[in-house]
Amino acid sequence: MTAVAARPSSFEVLTAPSPRGGIRARLGRVALPHGVVETPQFMPVGTNATVKSLDPDDLEAAGASIVLANTYHLFLRPGHERIARLGGLHRFMGWDHPILTDSGGFQVVSLADAREIDDDGATFRSHIDGSTQRLTPESSMAVQEALGADVAVAFDHPVYPSSPRAEVADATERTHRWAERSLQAHGRPDQALFGVIQGGLEPDLREASTRFIAGLPFDGLNIGGLAGDETPPQRREVLDVVIGLLEADPRPRYLMGLGSPGDLLDAVLQGVDLFDSVLPSRVARTGQVWVPGGRLDLRSAELLDDPAPIEDGCECLACRRFSRAYVAHLFRARELLAYRLATLHNLTFTLDFMARIRRAIAGGRLQAALPELWLRAGRTVTGEGATMAGEATDEPA
Ligand SMILES: [Zn+2]
């Protein structure tokens, strides 16, 4: 018998999809070194090792079980070696639950100046101080191993969904070569490694990328290059190709960058297990809070006399303790508490929405719960409401 080293993560499907009405939603559980993540699940984004304006107790109260931190940002500031010297990312940010770090590829493409991508890696100017920096599959793995998240992601070359076919094909091929190099370079035994499927909106390139990445021994499969400028029907078509090929694959599927309740539900129904986005926290800081049926603008004057909570029955601090009038006043006065309360509410709303979906799947009543879930997400008809342009990108520094 050959001994095989146990992987640092495992995925169990608790309720297999019953593809009635084309629904591929499934209930699962990802076991990681720092805890268990129930899926379908949403990961709040802690760009600079903090979800803006929240502390770890706030994140727990909002229902977060895993957070994402950005490799690109932490590599540039304060530096992965410093974080490693200080005991690793969990200790550094005071979060003892699972963490996933992304590959850095998306930020290189979307944030950095003067980037040049060659077959070996990416050279770019830091958006913070203009210094010249370089990331390769090998250095991205080294940075992520030093940070020490539960899950690292293979270095990839994303492109916007609407990019010309030749550009998508080129980036997808490069992503495949970089996936193999990332696997080769990754050695940390207590850290899982997920691979990224690219392929843009081209069905044949998506199919080839799904087959290639799924053929490698990753612990999970990310679906990249979406949540950009594609329409919801285009996204559905891509997911149909990808998930269709992964039906018998035992690993979790993670769609990067999606964050509005309607988009999340749409993708869960197609069989996606994990999500992340800055959307709930970013829109909160502009005074937009999610309520059943849509958004409420806390900057609107009519809320200044509204004694009701943001959302009746919501268990977040903002709703338990304060009125719309108070939070609206805080936004007008630009008080710091405004950002914390609105962010707490939006993340609580999002994570509670995912919990509602999980309960419906567990109870075998997802189909019956759909009208109520769509209503809560602010959509009466599926297909409306793409992620707004720019909102799926990374938070500014
Ligand atoms: Zn609330």
pLDDT in tens, 302-340: 999 999 999 999 999 999 999 999 999 999 999 999 999
- Write out pLDDT tens, residues 232-248: 999 999 999 999 999 99
Closest by CA to 190, choosing from 300, 266, 79, 90, is 90
Ligand 1 centroid to residue 64 C-alpha, Å: 14
Mark whether 305 is an active-site residue: no
Give residue 373 CA to ligand 1 midpoint distance, Å. 17
The encoded tokens of residue 375 equal: 């209503």
pLDDT in tens, 152-163: 999 999 999 999
Q: Which residues contact 224 (CB under 8 A, 6 or more apart)?
A: 106, 156, 158, 175, 196, 197, 198, 256
pLDDT level of residue 114 (50, 70, 90 thresholds): confident
| pTM attached to this predicted model | 0.94
The Cα 191–Cα 150 span in angstroms is: 5
Contact by Cβ (8 Å): 159, 199: no
Distances (CA, A) of 267 to 42, 239, 274, 327: 12, 8, 10, 32
Q: What distance in angstroms lies between residue 287's CA and the mean position of ligand 1's atoms?
A: 13
Angle between helix 336-362 and 324-332 (nearest 10): 130
Residue 17 Cα to ligand 1 midpoint, Å, equals 31
CA–centroid distance, residue 325 to ligand 1 (Å): 14
3-state secondary structure at position 55: coil
pLDDT digits (tens, 9 = 90+) for 193-209: 999 999 999 999 999 99
Indicate which residue of 58, 219, 276, 352 is catalytic: 276
Catalytic residue among 58, 102, 352, 394: 102
**Spatial CA neighbour of 347 closest among 89, 45, 48, 93:** 45
- Ligand 1: centre distance to CA 86 (Å): 35
Query: For residue 142, what is the DSSP state?
Result: H
Q: Would you state the pLDDT for residue 20?
A: 74
Please state, rounded to an integer, the average pLDDT across all residues of the chain.
93
Tracing tokens 């499907």 back to the chain, one arrives at 13
